[in-house]
Amino acid sequence: MSKEKPSIPQGTRDFGPEVVRKRSFIFDTIKKTFELYGFQPLETPAMENLATLMGKYGEEGDKLIFKILNNGLGEPKKIDKSRAAFENVLQGKNDTHLTERALRYDLTIPFARYVAMNHGQLVFPFKRYQMQPVWRADRPQKGRYREFYQCDADVVGSTSLLNEVELASIYHDVFTHLGITGYELRINNRKILAALAELCGGQDKMTSITIAIDKLDKIGIVKVKEELLQRDLNEEQITTIEKYLQITGNNEQNLTQIRSLIGGVEIGRKGIEEIEYVLGINTDARLVVDFTLARGLDYYTGIIFEARAPKEVKIGSIGGGGRYDDLTGLFGVPGIPGVGISFGVDRIYDVMEELKLFPAEVHTGTQILFFNMGEQESRTAYKQVQQLRAKGVRCELFHEPAKMDKQFKYAERKGIPFVAILGSQELTEETCVVKDLRTGRQERVPLAELIFYSFI
């Protein structure tokens, strides 16, 4: 037996009863909404083959993938290969002789893998949702974990912008049901960013530009310009980008200004039209155009979304998504475009906790506790408990005869609203005393009538 103090890995958490209830409230709300829009559930394994994940999330992403050490590395037969593989890894390469599996990093790539494997059987457009944990070898901070949950909904096999419209509506519906009214849903289009890159010397500049402008609200225009200089952009190009970043106003004004700046570029014009289409149907006031929105993931090619928490909580992004052409092309099945969104449950939880948005109904614990007043009394009480359970009332019988104050304390600490006292006197009368601990009010109820009571 070891005497180690129990602990859990960095950036992971246990969820106690109260927390699980609150989290379930969020999951249930999201799930219900996804299903209302016709999405179907999917689950994939926690681990994928490393090759499935590598190279899909950019250079930084690759570093954040949790790799799983192979078993049996020390087998006499394999030991030379293991050593050689280890040398490779020390040089920053991957080697399947050391790690051939890894924990999933997000839900989109495993989904793409699934679609690529099963495209022959699926009905397109295929709409699936998935709510599972993902893992990242990031350094944890508040609102940043190494294991966290994502709730994704994606549509593949359709280029219709109606999908984008619906996904934006899903954000609205979910946040509204959760009571998060102050959220903001930002929208941009990678095509507009591509057009900007084209104006600034070519597509190869796109990554540099997006990385720099993504930081605008954090470091300010001056530092962004410095960064662009370092990334080999010349004065003229930076001036163009500055003009781009200075676009302000409401959605309509923004679009007018962007049109005059990049409307001359074919792909840019297309991007603008797409946003206009979506805004024309989905008129939610919280949908705001933000040309500085870039989104890190490399695979986005069209409209991109980011849901931001109400400003006062300083939590930032609570969801995001976008359109990707040909995600499954990476797995040898080209020509399946898609678009998807994701909810960050852990951050949504923090937002709701901070703004006190969890409704009282999330507490679905025991409704009534029967006191244990002695051997005979508890037998009768148990019959009552079983009858109430059959009616769907969540109840408990105190596990042993004990002093009343002890039983009261148990009920109070577990947040049980009602107690039933069935002692010797009640036993002969065939009644029991029902007390509402929240109001202190109590009344004597015949046992036969107990099942008509509502314990809410």
Instruction: Examine residue 5 and tell whether it contacts RNA (CB under 7 A).
Output: yes
CB of 411 to RNA, least distance (A): 7
Contact region for RNA (CB under 7 A) — 77-85, 118-126, 351-359, 415-423?
415-423
Among 96, 230, 376, 425, binds RNA (CB under 7 A): 425
Burial letters 22-33, b for 16+ CB under 10 A, else e: bbebbbebbbeb
The reply on whether position 230 binds RNA by CB under 7 A is no
Tell me: does residue 67 bind RNA (CB under 7 A).
no
| 16 interacts with RNA by CB under 7 A | no
Euclidean distance between CA atoms 106 and 150, whole angstroms: 7
At a CB cut-off of 8 Å and minimum separation 6, what does 341 contact?
A: 152, 153, 154, 167, 170, 171, 305, 319, 320, 321
CA distance 95 to 88: 7
9 binds RNA (CB under 7 A): yes
| 174 and 133 Cβ atoms separated by less than 8 Å | no
268 part of the interface to RNA, by CB under 7 A: no
The stretch near RNA (CB under 7 A) out of 39-47, 124-132, 358-366, 404-412 is 404-412
* Exposed e or buried b per residue across 175-191, where buried means at least 16 C-beta atoms within 10 angstroms of its C-beta: beebebeebbbbbbbbb
What SS3 class is residue 304? strand
81: helix, coil or strand?
helix
Residue written as tokens 């002789």? Answer: 97
Q: Does residue 102 bind RNA (CB under 7 A)?
A: no
Does residue 77 touch RNA according to CB under 7 A? Answer: no
Q: Report the distance separating Cα 389 and Cα 350, nearest Å.
A: 34
In whole angstroms, the minimum distance from the beta carbon of 269 to RNA comes to 27
The one-character DSSP state at 414 is: T
Contact status: 246 vs RNA (CB under 7 A): no
- Among residues 26, 254, 435, 447, which is the contact residue for RNA, using CB under 7 A? 435
Number of residues forming the site for RNA (CB under 7 A): 64
Question: Taking CB under 7 A as the criterion, which residues in 363-402 touch RNA?
Answer: 373
For 300, phi then psi, to 5°, come to -70, 140
Q: Is 14 in the site for RNA (CB under 7 A)?
A: no
Q: Which of residues 140-159 bind RNA (CB under 7 A)?
A: 140-146, 148, 150
Cβ pair 145, 344 in contact under 8 A: no
User: Which of 48, 95, 106, 166 forms a contact with RNA (CB under 7 A)?
Assistant: 106
Shortest Cβ distance from residue 181 to RNA (Å)? 18
User: What is the spatial order of strands in the sheet that 126-135 belongs to?
Assistant: 40-41, 126-135, 147-156, 338-344, 317-324, 303-308, 184-189, 287-289
Name the 3-class secondary structure at 307: strand
β-pairing, 368-370 vs 418-421, is: parallel
Q: Does 229 bind RNA (CB under 7 A)?
A: no
Interface with RNA, residue 442, by CB under 7 A: yes
Residue 216 CB, nearest approach to RNA (Å): 12
Q: Of 77 and 403, which CB lies nearer to RNA in the complex structure?
A: 403
Q: What is the nearest approach in angstroms of RNA to the Cβ of residue 136? A: 5
Contact segment (CB under 7 A) with RNA among 27-35, 60-68, 88-96, 194-202 equals: 60-68
Contact segment (CB under 7 A) with RNA among 165-173, 189-197, 276-284, 437-445 equals: 437-445
Using the CB atoms, write b or e for 41-76: b if 16+ within 10 Å: ebeeebbbebebbbebbeeebbeebbbeebeebeee
User: Does 91 contact RNA by CB under 7 A?
Assistant: no
Of 139, 383, 394, 399, which lies in the binding site for RNA, with binding defined by CB under 7 A? 139
- The nearest distance, CB 80 to RNA, in angstroms, is 27
| Alpha-carbon span 399 to 388, nearest angstrom | 17
Of 68 and 437, nearer to RNA (C-beta) is 437
In the sheet where 442-446 sits, what is the strand order? 395-397, 368-370, 418-421, 431-436, 442-446
Q: Which of 62, 100, 138, 184 binds RNA (CB under 7 A)?
A: 138
What DSSP line would sit under 332-382, residue for residue?
T--S--EEEEEEEHHHHHHHHHHTT---GGG--S-SEEE----HHHHHHHH
The residue ranges that bind RNA (CB under 7 A) are 3, 5, 7, 9-12, 58, 60-61, 63-64, 106, 136-146, 148, 150, 211, 214-215, 218-219, 295-297, 316-320, 342, 344, 346-347, 373, 403-406, 408-409, 411-413, 421-426, 433, 435, 437, 440, 442
